[in-house]
Amino acid sequence: MARYVLRRLLQLVPVFLGTTFAIYALVWALPGDPLAGKCGDRACPATYVAAMNAKYGLDEPVLVQYGRYLSGLARGDLGETFSGVAVLDLVASAYPVTLKLALVALLIEALIGVTAGVLTGLRPAGFLDNLVLVATLFGVAVPVFVTGFVLQVGLGQGLGIIDPTVSPAAGFGELIVPGFVLGSLSMAYVARLTRTSVAENLRADHVRTAVAKGLGPRRVVGVHVLRNAAIPVVTFLGVDLGALMGGAIVTEGIFNIRGVGGLVYRAILTKEGATVTGVVVLLVIVYLVMNLLVDVLYAALDPRIRYE
C-alpha cells in the first residue's frame, strides 16, 4: 500500500505543475490592463506604471513570472494585490467559510443521495423507485439559483424557519439550507449513480455465487453488493468537493455568504490576477488531494487495484 500511495503522489507532481502553469498563464493573458483604474478617473503616471511592472514582474516573460510564483508558493506566499494586501490573508478569511459550506453540501448529498440510491437499487420498479427517479429528474432540471431563491423566500421570509441571509459567523446550522441548495444537483446524480451501481452488482456473478452458498441477505448486500457498488460513488463524491467549492458563487450570492465565490468575483472585476490565481491554485490542490484519497479508498475497496 505504501508503494502504491508513493507512486500516486509522484504522479500528482506533473499534474500540479501543468495545471497551475495553465491557470497562471490564462489569468495573466486576459485582455485589459490590470493597472487601469488604479489611479481613479485619470490615467496612471508612467513612473507609477513602471514601478508596478517592476514590483510585480508584469513586464517579464510568463515562465519567469510563474517560476517566481512557484518559489513564493513553496514558502506559503500567494502573492499580494496591487493595493498591497496579502492574498493569503484574503483567502484565510474567505476559504474556511466556503470549505464549511462545501463539506455540509457533500455530507447532505452523500446521506440523502446514497440512501435513496441504495433503497431504490435493491427494490427497482417500485413506488419509491419511481418517486426517486422523478425527484432526481426534477433536481437535475431545476437550476441551483431557482432552488436557492425558492427556499430562501419560502423558509426564510414566508415561514420564518431560517434567516434569509447567513451571518458573518456562518455556523454549520446556518449552512444546512445553503448546503442543500449547493448540493442539490450533485445529490440527484449521486442517487441515480448509486441506484444503477447497486442494480448492476445485484446481477453480478459473484453475488449469485454468494447467494448459492447460502449467505444471508445482509451479508450479501453489505459485503458483496455495496462494497463494489461504492467505487463509482466514491469517485464522484471525492472529486465533487472541489467542484462544490468552485461552484459556490451563486449559492453564496443568494444567501450573502462571504466566501471564495464573492472574493473571486470581485477580483475578476478589478483584474486582481494574483487573487484569482491564488484561489484557483488552492482549488487545484483540493482536487488533487481528494483524488489521492479516492485512489487510496479504491485500493481499500478493491485490493486488485493496488496490485496492478
pLDDT tens-digit profile of 156-202? 887 778 888 888 777 888 889 999 999 888 999 999 999 988 888 88
Structural domain count, the chain: 2
Q: What is the pTM of this model?
A: 0.80
- Report yes or no on 90 lying in a domain: no
User: Could you tell me if residue 79 is inside a domain?
Assistant: no
- pLDDT tens column, 233-282: 888 888 888 888 877 888 888 888 888 888 888 887 777 888 888 888 88
Cβ–Cβ < 8 Å for 17, 73: no
Q: Are residues 218 and 272 in the same domain?
A: yes
241 and 123 both lie in a single domain: yes
Residues 47 and 165 in one domain: no
Q: Are residues 106 and 241 in the same domain?
A: yes
Question: Does 70 map to a domain?
Answer: yes
Structural domain that includes position 52:
2-74
Distances in Å between the Cα of 307 and the Cα atoms of 1, 3, 4, 206, 235 are 9, 10, 8, 20, 19
Shortest CA distance to 280 belongs to which of 10, 95, 63?
95
One domain for residues 51 and 133: no
Distance of CA 14 to the CA centre of its chain: 21
CA distances from 296 to 55, 97, 193, 231, 293 (A): 43, 27, 21, 11, 5
* Distance, C-alpha 230 to centroid of its chain: 20
Q: What are the pLDDT digits (tens) for 64-123?
A: 888 888 888 888 888 888 777 888 888 888 888 888 999 999 999 999 999 999 889 888
Same-domain status, 51 and 195: no
**Residues 141 and 16 both lie in one domain:** no
